[in-house]
Chains A and B, each alone.
Chain A
């Protein structure tokens, strides 16, 4: 299957390795991966700040960069949800409306693409330890992703997944919110991290690096004994001789 990539701007800039890990998993699963190097950002930051014109400029450029013929796989639920649910609002009644109607539904967050489209539940990964899964808001509420990452993580050898009462509660990142309302953002992040530690977790795993980068910032500053991991980094770990490869 041919798939196109959308690598959200901050992953492009800050976490290229995670994006490559995702690519590797997709390729092992037999996907042919292409990437339009002209892409930048989906426009969500401006939209969330209320700057519609600026958003429309960037989003208008963005949507044209996808063919509309293939699935677009994204390492994160937030940007996926934005393209899927908000582009129609931005471009309703404009020249781009048809393109949006055709292309937006092709955007898939990585784990839901693995389980729903490729039918893969086991990537053959191994990671020893206990982890909590953090339901990123964009993945959970904008894309309705709840089971896909859990299915995949439950198959990771050596990994024990702990469910906490606050799994679905926001970590407090929220884009510019994290800067403009730093004390509130921090308070939310702190509770998330402390609850994970209390539950005995060594890892906080999520589909979205924006959440993790915020939590990681707190963890590093306070030198806590817990680590954040993007799910693509988990699903690739120790997977060199993966079952997946044998299966394909």
Chain B
């Protein structure tokens, strides 16, 4: 029988539980980001108000999403760019394929983009005989390894430097055991060639700017700039939620993203693209497209609660602090977006029935909500999903909760059995599920309730 996604999730979690090396690497990596984050935060004299303001801006934007998207389209078109609206992943893929065909593209360079992961752009282009090269170092490593990104902003954080050296040796013929700096130099040399040869550069988008018709891109390696300046065509692919009303909003959102993403005060390279090269300009692509992708986002928008998840700026902070992510890692989710935000949005972007378990796979500790720079109440949205998922619950579970409600409605029922009986029932019911690593707690011979009545 085919395993359900939930079964696969639990199985892989168990593997990760006993994988001490994985735990060591992740703890090490995340400790570095914790330290960086703590160092970066003091740049905000009042972080809570910064978050509140950001939340307010995103809220008004998402509540008026149609207006802002049309405003963006109008201005971007005036700048000479072309906006493509894609309702589904397939429409977005077809649009890219169409452009590739027009310019007879053989080679595409890409800078980091989760949306293109979501629509599985790379395999699609490969199947059409087009070479795609990831230029973000982390993504490049993942591409070489044939793995999807592990984390929203740190795609290869789960690999040790030794593993990367080994990968470069095997896949690229690099000398064995190169140090990180040498590896970077090695990759850079290969990638520089690719930029020059590429026909198209594809990037993600950090923020769409409605008032100027611009696309803001944030990165640390300069690969985004190179991917957009050498090729003749630039395609930016983005979810419709990435919009901000004004270029002025970047004054708040750039530092918020930088600190929550990587602990920096500001990311090294921040570019704003406002359309293709104009006559008289020296550089820039000849054509520029922005693909606005829905792919389930309007389902989130239609739900007044879940809608708040569209404020997300994909900083990845909620992953870093999530104790579940810290233990199972990014791949166990088996969805493009991992961690708390992934567990919130994936059941909506895909199917609640198939992905609803992700909302259950949380201890609801609330660390995600606490850290989120745009004030998304993530753990409450997980609860919201659980409410929606109830209709898919097993009959036995529904029945169990009915029984529970009945028992809790009558104090008498709770006092009926003695501790000994309850211990035996609990052993029968939970011993298996509670696990082989934990002993069951013991019921007291008499409850507080019973003792109180006796004593007082």
Which residues from chain A sit less than 8 Å from chain B, CB to CB?
Answer: 7, 9, 11-17, 19-20, 35, 37-41, 43, 45-55, 57-58, 61, 137, 141-142, 165, 168-170, 172-191, 213-214, 216-218, 220-222
What class of interface size applies to chain B in its complex with A? 35 or more
Q: How far is the CA of A6 from the CA of B94 in the complex (A)?
A: 61
Q: Is the CB of A188 within 8 A of B414?
A: no
Alpha-carbon gap, A191 to B385, bound state (A) = 28
B427 within 8 A of A: no
Q: Within 8 Å of chain A (Cβ to Cβ): is B405? A: yes
CA distance A33 to B444 in the complex (A): 22
Residues of A within 8 A of B389 (CB): 50
Q: Is B360's beta carbon under 8 Å from chain A?
A: yes
Q: How far is the CA of A214 from the CA of B389 in the complex (A)?
A: 26
Pairwise interchain contact A170-B323, C-beta atoms closer than 8 A:
yes
A17 and B451 CA atoms in complex are apart in Å by 10
Contacts of A216 in B (CB 8 A): 439, 441
Given contacts A12-B449, A141-B367, A188-B363, contact A218 B437 (CB under 8 A): yes
B47 located at the interface, meaning its Cβ lies under 8 Å from any Cβ of chain A in the complex: no
Can you list 23 contacts pairing A with B, beta carbon distance less than 8 Å?
A12-B447, A20-B448, A37-B449, A39-B411, A50-B386, A51-B398, A54-B402, A54-B404, A58-B408, A137-B365, A141-B367, A174-B362, A180-B433, A182-B433, A183-B10, A186-B435, A187-B17, A187-B327, A188-B363, A213-B441, A216-B441, A218-B438, A222-B437
Picked from A12, A170, A179, the residue with its CB within 8 Å of the CB of B367 is A170
A84 to chain B, nearest CB (A): 14
Which residues of B does A touch, CB under 8 Å?
A: 10, 13-14, 16-17, 23, 31, 323-324, 327-328, 360-367, 369-370, 383, 385-390, 393, 397-398, 401-402, 404-405, 407-411, 414, 422, 430, 433-435, 437-444, 446-449, 451-453, 456
Chain B: minimal CB distance from A170 (Å) = 3
Query: Are the C-beta atoms of B383 and A47 separated by less than 8 Å?
Result: yes
At the interface, is chain A mostly helix, strand, loop or mixed?
helix
B363 touches A40 (CB 8 A): no
Closest B residue to A188 by beta carbon equals: B323
Which residues on A sit within 8 Å (CB–CB) of B363? 137, 170, 172-175, 177-178, 185, 188
* B434/A182 in contact, CB under 8 A: yes
Whether A179 contacts B433 in the complex (CB less than 8 A), given A9-B414, A174-B363, comes out as: yes
* CB-based nearest B residue for A51: B401
Q: How far is the CA of A214 from the CA of B438 in the complex (A)?
A: 7
Q: Which of A39, A46, A184, A220 has the most CB of B within 10 A?
A: A184
Q: Which one of A19, A38, A181 lies within 8 Å of B10 (CB-CB)?
A: A181
Rounded to whole angstroms, the CA-CA distance of A207 and B438 in the bound complex is 21
**Given A183-B435, A217-B441, 7 other A-B residues pairs in contact with their CB atoms under 8 A:** A48-B383, A165-B31, A182-B433, A184-B328, A186-B438, A187-B13, A218-B437
